[in-house]
Structure 1
Amino acid sequence: MKGQRYTKEFKEMVIQEVNEANDVAQVARRHDLSPKTIYRWKADMKHKAWEVTEPSAKKTAAYTPTSQEFKQLENENGQLKKLLGEKDLEIAILRDLLKKSQPGYRIK
């Protein structure tokens, strides 16, 4: 048995009611529908809006930093790498010290 078919206008009216009332269950009961059906209609309507959007509006430009910004990013990256190296060295020294002070202590 196939489900009942509803017109586009009816679906839009129900979705508009849901948006105004902010209560899917109440609107579903009023129209004798399943809340899942209304959620599916809402998702479909969002998808339909994407289809009618102009292609130029859908394009996203890739960010390309200027030469000054690029140099700044390179400097920051270098500082972070140096800091990470120092922290790794510090951890290795502390682990070594822990092994020497407590020979039975195991470190993963």
Structure 2
Amino acid sequence: MKENNIFQKIINKKIPADILYQDEKVTVFSDINPKAPVHFLVIPNKIITSLNKIEKKDKNLVFHMLNIAILIAKKKKIYNTGYRLIINCNNHAGQEINHLHIHVLGGKRLKSI
């Protein structure tokens, strides 16, 4: 895996991060600029540059990402009160890193969108 973005460097532990979970498919870490009391990212260890680049062969990986988001929501005690999943896709949506990632936010009442 080439290390050409910050997420890949986090996956490979080349830069420090508050890693909450990691397995062979995904890495989960706290957001460095949280928008809620609980804010973490779920990223695939495989390079997928955006939501638009998911292929049929990635369906199990995406399902795993969602399952891990739920697992960490339970560990962070936001499972019952509620949480939000956000995937920004491309520049106009606010995607800053060209690596698919799910933001998971909770820990307070979030404003409706």
TM-score (norm 1): 0.29
Which is bigger in relative contact order (C-alpha 8 A, separation at least 6)? Answer: 2
Which is helix-richer, 1 or 2?
1
TM-score (norm 2): 0.28
Task: Determine which structure has more spread, i.e. the larger CA radius of gyration.
Answer: 1
